[in-house]
Each structure stands twice: as C-alpha cells, then as structure tokens.
Structure 1
C-alpha cells in the first residue's frame, strides 16, 4: 500500500508555463523545426522543373507538435522528482548524540575519607575515579573529554571515542594534580572555550566545592557555559555532617560539602545537582545523568522507503522524442 505521494523539487514545475508559451509562439509564427539529420541531395538537371510540378511537403509534421509538447512536459515532471513514500523503518541507533566532558576536582580536600564500606573508609578521590571509570565503560554517547579542576585548570584529555584511553586517563588522576586549591569558575570557562562540538554537550562536574578561588563567581561561569549550549550536572562528593567517630576516621581537617553553592551552580548551568552521600547514591547519580540524556536528547530516527517515479518519466519522454523526429508525417 502506498502511504503518500510527494514532489521533491517542486520549483521545476514553474517551467511548465514556459513550455506552453514556447509552443504557442511556435504555432503562431509557424516556425520550422530544425532538421536533426542531414538530407541526401540528388543532382539531376531537371530537378528544378520537377520540383515546381510536385506538391511541397510540409516542413513541420503535425504529429510532432503533440509529441514534443508531451515529452518536454514529462521531462519537466522528471526534474521535479515525483516519488512515492512507502512504509518507514526505524534505524538502529546504539549511540546517544552526546559529547561528554568530565570535570574532576583534585583539590586537597578530596583526600578526606568520609565514605564507608562497612568498617573500611574510602577516600573521596578513590571513589570518584572508580565510579567514573565504570560510568565511562557503559557510556553509550559519542565522545568523552576529561579536564582537571584546579588552580589553574587544564585539559587532561581532549574529546575521544576511545573508552580505554579515557579510563586510563582517569586512573592517572592524582590529588593536587591541579594544585592544592581549585578555581571552579576558571574550570567551567575552560570547558566552554576549548571543547567544541555540534552535538548535545554535557558536563559532569565532580567536586566537594571546598577551598575555591577565582575572581568570577562559579554561578556566572555556569551561566556562560549554559549559554554556549552545554548542560551542567554537578555531583557533590562528600558528606555534610559526620559523627564524631566518623570525623576521626575521615582524617585531615574535615570540610563538609557546600550544597547550597553547588545547587546554584547546577541551576545556572541548566542542569541538576546530585549529592553523593554514599557510594550507591554516587552510582545512581551517574546512571540518572545517562538515562536523562538518552530520554531527553535522543531522537528515534526513521527512514522512509521511497520509490522514485522520474526514471519512468524520462524513459517515456525520450521514447516520444525519438518518435517525433523519426516518424514520417502523412
């Protein structure tokens, strides 16, 4: 069953009135059609006298008019490319149209061990590297880039579709790699300036928001990032409060995560804030980010099966054109 008809290049149909005007003027002026074949000439002394005695054969054969008009009309329709749309099929698409930038904080407070697996305490940085590596392995998007949030920030890995290279780069991240403190606003500006993409760019920033520097507020930098087309998701790592026993086990000088600041930054970046209170919530945050991009940004691609009609029009038009100049008129 045919589902629809369409003309892909309808502007060519504007030639139809010109064809009609051409034929109308030709008929009014009785202009001869050009001879496409060389006529044989017979040399005979009395040819001139015989020519006066025989009736003249009309140079323009009447049947040519209709055949030529019909063939030129068919050629015009062929240029307009008429097609029949049949049933469409869904194209398999295993890749989301997303380019992802991972922005990882390496300031000194990422050494805090305020995550616990039973009796074992886990360092913020160690947990971040482990879960990001797992996230990258299952990432179904296009490319991944990696930047270090520091003072100053810097690129750790440009956009690449090599998942193994990204996991290797994550494994090489170390505490204070970008300095003991961080400049969040400069880090966000670096992403906006250096990661160029035509797809849906997403930034996942993992930070505990501690010891931030910078003359520009992180909210302003996040707003500029959103204006550049990026979506910023913030994963706040670290607890807001601990028991006295946990504080003692965490080590260093305990510094809780500033959720209020990070929430404002995420909203300014047209994204969301996730607080990774535990290992499980950290992992859930990454899964939620992945699923939201797949649901909101991914579109189902469908391919319509098209049957072109213009080859038939060209063949019929050529047949009529040949017939017009080969058939003898009566």
Structure 2
C-alpha cells in the first residue's frame, strides 16, 4: 500500500500558479510568463527577460517541481503486517552426534534410518513450532560446541542442524561438558526462560566435568533440562549362525538422564521409535508453551529518494539543454558578425 507521511505538503504544488497569478495582477505583461516566482529565475527553462520559455521546458520544469514537492511529502510503501518475534524462552537444543547415533534402529516408511536422521526430521518440525523463542543448537561428542548461538533465525538453525554429521565432535560422549557449556550460554539470560533439551543414546564416557557436577551447576543457575534417551530396545540382527535379537540401547544410561532432569526441574523421556520421538517433542511443547503477545508491525519502505532523484535529473537535463541553446546562440552571433 502506498501512502504519504506528510500529505498536506502537496499544497505546495499550487505555489507557482499562485505566484504567477499575483504577478499578473500586479504587473501586466504583453507575453505570458512561466508560472514561477522571481526566486526561480535563472533556472533552465526560465527566461530572464520575462518571456516564456518553450512549452516543453516549462512542462519539464513544472514536472520537476511536482516531483520535488512529492519527495517532501515522503511517499512510502507500507508492507503487509509482520509478526514481531516476542521474547519467549531461551531454548538450547543439545544433540549427541557421537558414532553410536549411526545405529539404524529407527523406521521411516518401512525403511531403516539412523538415529541422527530421525532426530533431524523431528527437530525440524519442533523448531518450526517454536516461533517466539530464541533457539540455539549445541552438538557434542568427545567435546561440545555451539553450532548455532541463541537466535530468532530459526531457518539458519534448521539448516545447520541438517548439515550436522556423525562424529564431527569426536567418538565419545561428554554429557557433563555439554551441560556445562549449555549453562554457560544460558546463565546470562532472564530466569524462568532457560531451557535445555538434551538428547543422547549413550552414557557419559568423556569430558572434564562430571554429569552430576554439571547438573548441580545447572540447577543453581536456574536452567531447566529435559533429557531424551533415544534408541530401540530390541532389534533383529543377522549373523553367521542366523538372526538374533539384540538391544541396541544397552549403553543408554537412563538413571543418569532421569537424575539430570529431576534435579533441574525438567523431565526424562524415552524414545524407542520415530513416532515416540515425535511425541516427546510434542510433550515438551505442551510443558513449555509459547506465550505470544500478538505484536505486529508493517514494514515501511521510503520512496522519497526516487521522486527527489527524478526531479534532480530533470533539472540537470534542462540545465544541459540551456547550455546547449546558449552555445548555439553564441555560434550564430559569431557567424553573423563574420
């Protein structure tokens, strides 16, 4: 939608006509004059002798004046209403990318996919639903690192999650260090808004900070941790002597994950399949509802520069035409004297 910030300025479009009308009443002239005041004398297209300029110059000069007045009125393009990001929770998604996440015990459309692929699919939908929250992405293996800092730019976070690869952070699982880094990133944020969702399929096997000590630090800092243990409990595995059933989640430390969640005011979830993992994140959505404030704004694009620039170009074109006319007149005079 187009609008004017100062529409009353458009009254100035009539100024040249008013000045010309006043001049006609005060001092009649034999020939019509350009409808501008004395302060416009000397501009290209304006006769110093009071005679009118060619009509095309007069028309262009008036057009330049109209464009200049339009620029002063500040034309704007007002866009469609946009929802403002509201300051909800600071939620750090913490994902295990150790080699054990390569276990293909998740089923999608009757085919096996690995655990990390399942996490990416479910987290992508989860991130889409958290509009209004400041999200971040922490990946960990032997060492934790921040893949995406806390931000409202959810599209970038989804892209960075999709690019995460198994083993990028080492071949062990440092749960304590991951919690420690998450708390460090969240401790300066407002209280009651600090949430960590930690997903792993194993036990703490590396790191300098023990999970229990990291949990104490998180609890003291007011960081709420939801823990998720992923991995099927039974899986048929072919072998030389025939198929056998194995437990691919035998290394999962559920007692530790439950203790972490309980001590920080969170909750432990078990995801044995892709549908269960989807239900886990739906449950977290209900436990951590988004409080939207309904704030909106309309983006405004200023357009006055186009009108002002067009007026300037017309003025320069008239100036050039005036110089060319003066040059031709001078050459004709010189030719007549010769």
Distance 1:248 1:262 in 2: 32
How many residues are aligned here?
A: 208
Where does 1:1-330 land on structure 2 (aligned, <5 Å)?
A: 95=86, 97-117=88-108, 119-195=110-186, 196-198=188-190, 200-210=193-203, 212-244=205-237, 255-294=250-289, 298=291
Distance 1:129 1:259 in 2: 22
Structure 1: stretches of 5+ with no match in the other structure:
1-91, 302-330
Structure 2: stretches of 5+ with no match in the other structure:
1-82, 295-338
1:46-73 per-position Cα deviation (integer Å, ceiling 9, x unaligned): xxxxxxxxxxxxxxxxxxxxxxxxxxxx
The alpha-carbon deviation at position 163 of structure 1 amounts to 1.1
1:69-98 per-position Cα deviation (integer Å, ceiling 9, x unaligned): xxxxxxxxxxxxxxxxxxxxxxx9995721
Superposition CA RMSD, Å: 3.1
Higher relative CO (Cα under 8 Å, sequence separation at least 6) belongs to 1
8 Å CA contact retained: 2:197, 2:226: yes
1:207-256 per-position Cα deviation (integer Å, ceiling 9, x unaligned): 11246223443122122112111110011111234345699799998744
Given the superposition, is the C-alpha separation of residues 169 and 300 from structure 1 closer, same or farther in structure 2, using an over 3 Å criterion? closer
8 Å CA contact retained: 1:192, 1:225: yes
Given the superposition, is the C-alpha separation of residues 179 and 217 from structure 1 closer, same or farther in structure 2, using an over 3 Å criterion? same
The alpha-carbon deviation at position 258 of structure 1 amounts to 2.4
Distance 1:171 1:210 in 2: 24
TM-score by length of 2: 0.55
Given the superposition, is the C-alpha separation of residues 275 and 131 from structure 1 closer, same or farther in structure 2, using an over 3 Å criterion? same
8 Å CA contact retained: 2:95, 2:139: yes
Given the superposition, is the C-alpha separation of residues 291 and 265 from structure 1 closer, same or farther in structure 2, using an over 3 Å criterion? same
Given the superposition, is the C-alpha separation of residues 249 and 229 from structure 1 closer, same or farther in structure 2, using an over 3 Å criterion? farther
Distance 1:180 1:248 in 2: 28
Secondary structure of residue in 2 paired with 1:222: helix
The alpha-carbon deviation at position 282 of structure 1 amounts to 0.6
